[in-house]
């Protein structure tokens, strides 16, 4: 049984909110990649670590107000990413991007192991954002109320993307980022403090990572290390669709992934109850990334061949 | 001078006595040390741990083993931790006629090869005399033939369908996810639900059978029954999906652990769709942590099927469970259905062991005795527990419904019989009648008659 349009539409705002968080993470991943050549697979794990620290501060201490815990979440994201960048950035600077990226898998596994040990999945954990509970001020779309956390997530994604685009285009540091992305060695010979610029990229990327984790925890209502860690897959897919270049395409791709993933939930009885389409929704980022890369790759080939003629 | 000194001494002594009396009155000084948890003389109104002697057991340990599934989102070591807690209490109260119990637990991360290896290790290498408190996704399916070969009868908690009537070698104290979901469906039907959507987690309901009795029941009542299997419900869209599937006035049963359940219902609350349907859950959510976290919005709003009677009563076993929990159970766990399972697994096993002579405290003696349990009563059970020499076991086939209210778990419905929608339920009820398993003389006898 196919879902009605009315049923389907209601999944859109939920998908947009989650897609927005994928998008923010994707933008962070792209900026870091363009500056340092590192595709950070640990993005989800770092965000998760920040949220777990916030959870402990809120629930296991008597002195920490919620707002301070939220700030701590963002700071932890920045601190871990910065520490990794400071220690391993220079070591891997001259290595192949594949090696640089694979190294972040090591960080992912270490963080995942630490979180599973420190916060085993035997306790109910959640970090509730104040905006989760502004029930009276959410927006009603069809039958469902869209909470302020979802609206904030969407706005945040656009602000981060627009801000980063403007930053890269109009600031001196942004120009340095772009220069490093084009050619690290030439940029260095021009007197740009490459290490310092890269360090700032790690730090900013980490802050964005912490903020994404915080928003995601509000959207998911539960904290679980494995789940949070592997949500990076959707962000990576979006970044790949953006060819690790375009921030706006990355955001758009992330939103599409989120919406498609969410809307597939409506197909719980189609084509059959035993094998509904909904159960394949986890494949969404892969399928969309492959389709997009194939289409984009074909277009590029056509363009190149035309240019050749 | 001397009289002055004597008067001073009298005054000083009097002062000290007055201070002591004042302190006693204020409760600052105890007249004697508090009695050890689980100690004392058993009676119909007081349960004790084992012998209740208050003395540590020091003899040769009696080894008892267990296998437990622990994987992301599956934290069933709550049960084995509660079994261990009770055994520790027994050991602090004279053990099994002076011998302490050594409890050996192997953790299965959902790997059938490991489950088979653990059973062999427990029986052949570690030489356990019994297996108690096992709760494993695959143990009934993987090890039934091995237990048959070794004549081991596991007193524990089932998960797989085979644990409930499919093998004589598992005697579960719980009724398992399928029947708990069925109980939740019965609650929803009584509450007037127009449809029943039963949701189970794919990670542990690998065969996809847990919802079948509930869906069967729904259809038998002329309701739409939908069987849904989902992974860990991480996103808000799951809540909307279930509500849409159920339709306005329909019922949704979530067979998830507490944290997973909260993920879904909190999302439904935030989306303003929670009141469109009636909600129910299977037994894992009967947990103080659920009530504390769900919030007042969910007061009386979700019927949680509860396979054992509430731990909140003043009944002797409920009281002892709370005392044992307080002293011996790791506080990462709450008071819960799972805690009750572990407590009762260990308590029944202990009561059986205490009836055996020293030369019967071996695998053969203990496992033979396990098959003789009959009409064993506890205020935590709706109906008496039994094993019997049956081809399969489903002794716990009555349950009740609870709900959260003001941060606490409260009983919502009295005990009711699980609908006989499967041949196993019918067979269990027939066996109870035929062999008088829930009437007559109890084995093991009540502790005060031991």
Q: Which of B196, B146, B188 is nearest to B167 (CA)?
A: B146
For position B189, what pLDDT does the model report? 98
Number of Cβ within a 10 Å radius of residue A253: 27
B81 touches chain A (CB under 8 A): no
Structure tokens at B297: 């919005």
B290 pLDDT more than 80:
yes
- Give domain status of residue A133, yes or no: no
Measured between CA atoms, how close is A10 to chain B, in angstroms?
A: 8
Judging contacts by C-beta atoms under 8 Å, the chain B residues touching residue A282 are 231
- Find the closest chain B residue to A225 by CA distance: B72
Q: Is B259 on the interface with A (CB under 8 A)?
A: yes
- Residue range B383-430, pLDDT digits in tens: 999 998 899 999 999 999 999 999 999 999 999 999 999 999 999 999
CA distance A150 to B413: 38
Residue A255: inside a domain: yes
Task: Report residue A250 CA to chain centroid gap.
Answer: 10
Given an 8 Å threshold on Cβ–Cβ distance, is A122 in contact with B237?
no
Q: A4-17, pLDDT tens digit by residue?
A: 888 899 999 999 99
Average pLDDT over residues A23-36: 92
- Residue A271 covered by a domain: yes
Q: pLDDT tens, A93-152?
A: 888 888 988 999 999 999 999 998 898 876 668 888 888 777 666 778 777 888 888 899
Q: Is the pLDDT of residue B13 over 70?
A: no
Token pair, residue B93, equals: 């109260």
Q: What is the pLDDT of residues B243-260, one digit of tens each?
A: 999 999 999 999 988 888
Does the pLDDT of residue B30 top 70, yes or no?
no
- Is there a contact between A265 and B77 if contact means CB atoms under 8 Å apart? no
Which residue segments constitute the domains of chain B, with CATH numbers given?
62-175+315-388+424-449 (3.40.50.2300), 178-306 (3.40.50.2300)
pLDDT tens track for A186-204:
888 988 898 899 999 999 9
pLDDT(B116) > 60:
yes
Asked if the structure places residue A243 within a domain, the reply is yes
Smallest CA–CA distance from A221 into chain B, residue = B263
DSSP string of A83-98?
HHHHHHHHHHTTS-HH
Contact between A218 and A55 under an 8 Å Cβ cutoff? The reply is no
Residue A137 confidence (pLDDT): 62
Give the integer Cα–Cα distance in Å for A112 and B20. Answer: 57
Boundaries of domain holding A84: 5-120+142-308
Q: What is the pLDDT of residue B25?
A: 44
Dist. CA B237–CA B234, nearest whole Å: 9
Contact B236 A219 (CB under 8 A): yes
Number of domains observed in the structure of chain A: 1
Answer whether residue A125 is part of any domain: no
CB contact under 8 A, B272 and A135: yes
Domain annotation covers residue A134: no
- pLDDT for residue A94: 81
Quick one: pLDDT at residue B29?
44
What whole-number distance in Å separates Cα of residue A181 and Cα of residue A97?
12
Residues of A in contact with B270 (CB under 8 A): 132, 135, 138, 145, 147, 149, 221
Quick check: B188 and B253 in contact, CB under 8 A? yes
- Specify burial of residue A109 (Cβ count, 10 A radius: 0-12, 13-18, 19+): middle
The nearest CA of chain B is from the CA of A145 a distance in Å of: 4
Residues in chain B: 450
pTM of the predicted model as reported, rounded to 2 decimal places:
0.85
CATH number, position A52:
1.10.3470
Residue B262 near chain A (CB below 8 Å):
yes
Q: Nearest by CB to A221, from B227, B262, B333: name it.
A: B262
Any chain A CB within 8 A of the CB of B205?
A: no
Evaluate if residue A266 carries a pLDDT over 50.
yes
**Measured between beta carbons, which residues in chain A are less than 8 angstroms from residue B235?**
14, 18, 219-220, 261-262
A interface toward B at CB cutoff 8 Å?
3, 7, 10-11, 14-15, 17-18, 116, 120-126, 132, 135, 138, 140, 143-147, 149, 219-222, 224, 226-227, 231, 261-262, 265-266, 268-269, 273, 278-279, 282
Of B226, B228, B234, the CB nearest to A220: B234
Q: What is the pLDDT of residue A122?
A: 66
């Amino acid at each position: 049984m196919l879902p009605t349009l009315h049923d389907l539409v209601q999944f859109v705002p939920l998908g947009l909110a989650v897609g927005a968080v994928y998008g923010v993470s994707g933008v962070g991943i792209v900026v870091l990649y363009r500056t340092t050549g590192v595709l950070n697979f640990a993005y989800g794990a770092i965000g998760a670590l920040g949220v777990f620290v916030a959870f402990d501060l809120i629930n296991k201490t008597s002195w920490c107000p919620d707002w301070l815990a939220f700030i701590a979440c963002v700071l932890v994201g920045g601190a871990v990413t910065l520490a990794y960048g400071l220690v391993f950035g220079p070591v891997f600077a001259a290595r192949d991007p594949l090696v640089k990226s694979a190294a972040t898998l090591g960080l992912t596994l270490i963080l995942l192991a630490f979180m599973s040990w420190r916060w085993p999945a035997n306790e109910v954990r959640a970090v509730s954002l104040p905006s989760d509970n502004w029930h009276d001020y959410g927006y009603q779309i069809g039958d469902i109320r869209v909470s302020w956390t979802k609206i904030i997530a969407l706005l945040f994604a656009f602000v981060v993307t627009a801000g980063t685009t403007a930053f890269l285009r109009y600031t001196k540091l942004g120009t340095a980022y772009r220069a490093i992305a084009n050619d690290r060695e030439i940029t260095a010979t021009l007197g740009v403090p490459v290490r310092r610029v890269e360090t700032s990229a790690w730090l900013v990327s980490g802050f964005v990572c912490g903020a994404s984790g915080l928003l995601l925890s509000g959207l998911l209502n539960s904290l679980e290390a494995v789940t949070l860690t592997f949500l990076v897959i959707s962000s990576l897919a979006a970044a790949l669709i953006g060819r690790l270049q375009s921030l706006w395409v990355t955001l758009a791709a992330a939103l599409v992934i989120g919406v498609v993933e969410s809307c597939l939930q409506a197909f719980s009885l189609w084509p059959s109850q035993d094998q509904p389409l909904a159960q394949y929704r986890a494949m969404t980022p892969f399928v969309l990334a492959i389709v997009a890369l194939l289409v984009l790759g074909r277009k590029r080939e056509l363009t190149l061949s035309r240019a050749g003629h | 001078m001397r009289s002055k000194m004597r008067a001073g001494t009298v005054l000083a002594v009097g002062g000290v006595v007055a201070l002591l009396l004042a302190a006693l009155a204020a409760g600052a000084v105890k007249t004697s040390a508090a009695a050890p948890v689980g100690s004392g003389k058993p009676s119909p109104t007081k349960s004790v741990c084992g012998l209740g002697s208050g003395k540590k057991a020091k003899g040769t340990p009696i080894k008892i083993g267990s296998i437990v599934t622990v994987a992301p989102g599956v934290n069933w070591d709550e049960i084995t931790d509660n079994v261990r807690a009770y055994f520790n209490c027994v050991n602090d109260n004279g053990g099994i006629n002076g011998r302490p119990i050594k409890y050996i637990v192997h953790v299965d991360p959902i790997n059938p090869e490991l489950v088979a290896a653990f059973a062999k290790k427990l029986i052949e290498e570690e030489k356990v005399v019994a297996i108690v408190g096992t709760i494993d996704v695959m143990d009934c399916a993987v090890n039934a033939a091995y237990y048959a070969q070794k004549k081991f009868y596991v007193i524990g908690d089932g998960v797989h369908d085979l644990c409930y009537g499919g093998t004589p070698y598992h005697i579960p104290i719980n009724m398992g996810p399928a029947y708990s979901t069925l109980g939740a469906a019965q609650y929803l039907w009584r509450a007037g639900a127009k449809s029943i959507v039963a949701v189970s987690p794919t990670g542990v309901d690998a065969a996809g059978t847990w919802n079948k009795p509930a869906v069967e029941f729904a259809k038998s009542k002329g309701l739409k029954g939908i069987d849904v299997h989902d992974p860990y419900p991480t996103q808000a869209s799951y809540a909307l999906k279930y509500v849409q599937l159920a339709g306005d006035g329909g019922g949704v049963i979530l067979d998830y652990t507490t944290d997973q359940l909260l993920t879904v219902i909190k999302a439904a609350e935030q989306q303003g769709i929670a009141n469109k349907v009636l909600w129910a859950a299977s037994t894992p959510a009967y947990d103080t942590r659920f009530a504390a976290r769900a919030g007042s919005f969910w007061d009386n709003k979700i019927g949680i099927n509860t396979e054992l009677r509430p731990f909140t009563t003043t009944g002797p076993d409920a009281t002892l469970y709370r005392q044992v929990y307080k002293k011996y159970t790791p506080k990462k766990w709450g008071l819960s259905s799972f805690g009750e399972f572990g407590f009762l697994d260990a308590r029944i096993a202990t009561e059986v062991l205490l009836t055996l002579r020293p030369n019967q405290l071996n695998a053969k003696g203990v496992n033979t005795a396990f098959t003789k349990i009959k009409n064993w009563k506890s205020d935590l059970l709706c109906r008496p527990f039994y094993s019997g020499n049956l081809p399969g076991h489903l002794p716990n086939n009555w349950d009740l419904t609870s709900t959260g209210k003001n941060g606490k778990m409260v009983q919502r419905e009295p005990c009711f019989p699980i609908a006989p929608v499967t041949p196993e339920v019918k067979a269990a009820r027939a066996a109870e009648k035929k062999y008088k398993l829930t009437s007559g003389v109890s084995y093991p006898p009540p502790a005060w008659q031991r």
